[in-house]
Every structure is written in structure tokens, then in C-alpha cells.
Amino acid sequence: MLRHGDEKDLEQVKKLSDHLFGDPYISTEEYLELLKIGYLFVAEEDGEIQAASLHHLITPKELSDEMAVTPEMQKDLCKERPSLHFRYHAVYEEHTRKGIGSSLLAYALQEMKEDNKYGSVFTQLWVPLNRNMKEKQPMEFLAEKLGFSKLHEQFQPWQIEKYKHSYCPVCGGWCRCNARVYYREL
């Protein structure tokens, strides 16, 4: 079953995001704040959350500072409406390659479009430092299938003071991954 997630789901959802993206990835307090300015979607079966997708408001300044989407680009891409940060998409390993990730993202995009509040969704898809930048990550195939387009690449965008104490499970500490920025109009 695909549905909107809420506070009651946070224990399971946090477990999933910590498992895939590093412990702790998003604290419970931060999740509670993000739920006020965004959307959580989950795929659930028999009470077990198998997948989750988090999207929340991003300000024009954050979009520019974090993802290098300049004010000029925002004019073109955001339809003069607020934008969403597609923060993550996560499916437990044992449930991947069964279409859950794509069904959940299609559902999320449809629900957010129907809400009629936001212009576009932006996301950073991470490429570990030792990977060939030409090689696409699984999520890029999925995102492109659902209408996302690549905007540009960022070289180690988290190598800034603000993220010095972040934990990246791939880098084993301060994140040195590169990123590709994708967007999709709603």
C-alpha cells in the first residue's frame, strides 16, 4: 500500500533512513520540523514500512547555495512557485527491483502535483568519489524514467564548513562525494 506518512511512522522511517544513509541521518526532531513543510510518502505491507520518500520546501537561497541553482535558473524552472527538495528515496535492500521505488515516486509526484502548491522538485544524486562520473547511479535511471532531467554536476558540494561534522556512510565521515542535480516540474 502506498500512502502519506506521518508522525506515527517516524520510528520505522528513521530506522530505514539511518540504515541506508548513515546513523543518524535525520534526527526525529528534524523529521518533525520537515513534516510541517513537506511530504513523507511510504510503501507499507502488513504494518512493515518497506520504502519511504521525503520531499520538503527549499528556499530560493538554499537552492542556490546548496545545489548551485542560480536565481536566473530558478526563474526558468520554478514557475514562480516555491520549490521542493526531494531529500531522499529509500527502499530496503530485500525489496528492491520489484517496482516499489518507481511506484512510490510516481505516487508521490502525483500527490504533490494535485496539491498544487509547488512548481518543481530538485534533488542531488550522489556519486561516490571513486566512481566514474560517467557511470549512472540506480536512482538516476529511476528518476529519469519518472521525468526528472539532469541540470548539472557538483564537485564535492559538502566539502564546506557547514557539513564538516556530517557523517557519510560511503566516505566514512565528512562527505567527499560528487553530486548530480536533477529537477522535475510538477
Ligand X SMILES: CC(C)(COP(=O)(O)OP(=O)(O)OC[C@H]1O[C@@H](n2cnc3c(N)ncnc32)[C@H](O)[C@@H]1OP(=O)(O)O)[C@@H](O)C(=O)NCCC(=O)NCCS
Residue 185 to residues 55, 80, 85, 117, Cα–Cα distance (Å): 14, 12, 12, 12
Least separation, in Å, of the C-beta of 22 and ligand X?
11
Q: Which of residues 17-36 bind ligand X (CB under 6 A)?
A: 20
CB 52 within 8 A of CB 42: yes
Nearer of residues 70 and 103 to ligand X, judged by Cβ: 103
CB 18 → ligand X: shortest distance, Å? 12
Instruction: Measure the CA–CA gap between 174 and 169, rounded to whole angstroms.
Output: 9
For ligand X, which residue of 34, 84, 90, 171 counts as binding (CB under 6 A)?
Answer: 90
> Which residues in the 99-158 window bind ligand X by CB under 6 A?
99-102, 125, 138-139, 141-142, 145
71 lines the binding site for ligand X (CB under 6 A)? no
Q: How far is the CB of 91 from ligand X (least distance, A)?
A: 4
- Asked if residues 98 and 59 have their Cβ atoms less than 8 Å apart, the reply is no
CA distance 116 to 70: 24
Residue 79 or 142 having the CB closest to ligand X: 142
Give strand ranges (E) for 29-102.
Answer: 38-45, 48-58, 83-91
Phi/psi at 70 (5° precision): -70, 160
- C-beta of 107 vs 174, nearer to ligand X: 107
Q: Given the rule CB under 6 A, which residues bind ligand X?
A: 20, 88-91, 96-102, 125, 138-139, 141-142, 145
